[in-house]
Amino acid sequence: MRPRSRAQRRAADTAIRVAMVPSALIGIAVLAWILWEVIARGVGAFTPAFFTELPTPPGMEGGGLGNAILGTLLMTLLAALLGTPVGLLAGVFLAEFGPSSRIATAVRFTTNLLMGTPSIIIGIFVYSILVLPFGHFSGWAGAVALAILILPVVMRTTEDMLNLVPDELRESGLALGAPRWRVTLGIIFRAARTGLVTGVLLAVARVSGETAPLLFTALNSFYWPGSLNQPTANMTVTIFNYAMSPYSDWQEKAWGASLLITASVLVVTVLARFVIKDKGGRA
């Protein structure tokens, strides 16, 4: 440390303190600004038809995004059903079966890499394994892409949450003669329930707002998702297509869809955080 005069040191301290409040306000201001614009521009699109009807051809007023809302719900649900069980069991493997073994270390490292892989790369990967060979885009491919995004997040939170469960609980379960799988599923999962539910909710909420993995997998569609074996309408790709279109009616619908998706994601996130805070001790 270079010796400095008292005045210099005080000046540096004051400069940082002065910079702090505006910096912190930037964080709040950007959030408030985004939310304000999304609400102000999106709320006008909310009519009963917006939620229940099919889109109209370009330039024609009216219609809605009912198919996209349903498609997003279906694919997100399916992705959660595919990704969550695998993620939970993989988390069990990392936390319960030799956590410092070489294979667990390798899996943990790979999980971090997968979490850091851009979601558009996941989309391209699923395109090349589920779209190219079958010759058509499909809702299944979209759901698989989203499930691949859910998997590493659920794995990580499961491992963290199971590690918080005291070993005495495992030992007492085993001492009663219960087999390992019953101790894990019946006692440890129950003890860590709140944290696990929160982790899954946060992962699913995050994934429901993803666009890039759906661009080349589910694509989009103007029809109701009759079967997941065909291109499936979804909100995020619809936002992308409509926002880039020259029709003001479509742009308004894009804002409406933006509001709907932002509100759902934020509400689930806030609820999940409340659950943590509420039962923090047990999580």
Binding residues for other proteins restricted to 216-275, rule: CB under 8 A: 216, 219, 236, 239-240, 243, 251, 254-255, 258, 261-262, 265-266, 269-270, 273
Amino acid identity for residue 99 in this structure: P
Tell me how far CA of residue 217 lies from CA of 21, 144, 200, 229, 241, in angstroms: 44, 9, 23, 11, 15
Amino acid at 263: A
Indicate whether 152 belongs to the interface with other proteins (CB under 8 A): yes
Degrees (nearest 5) of the Cα angle 249, 254, 258?
145
List 109, 134, 223, 274, residue binding other proteins (CB under 8 A): 109
Residue carrying structure tokens 């899954």: 200
Stretch that binds other proteins, among 48-56, 58-66, 127-135, 190-198 (CB under 8 A): 127-135
Q: Is 211 in the site for other proteins (CB under 8 A)?
A: yes
Q: How far is the CB of 46 from other proteins (least distance, A)?
A: 16
Q: Is the dihedral of CA 40, 41, 44, 46 positive or negative?
A: negative
* Binding residue for other proteins, selected from 77, 114, 275, 276, defined by CB under 8 A: 114
Q: Which 6-35 positions form the footprint of other proteins (CB under 8 A)?
A: 9-10, 12-13, 16-17, 19-21, 23-24, 26-28, 30-34
CB of 224 to other proteins, least distance (A): 22
CA dist 50 and 62 (Å) reads: 8
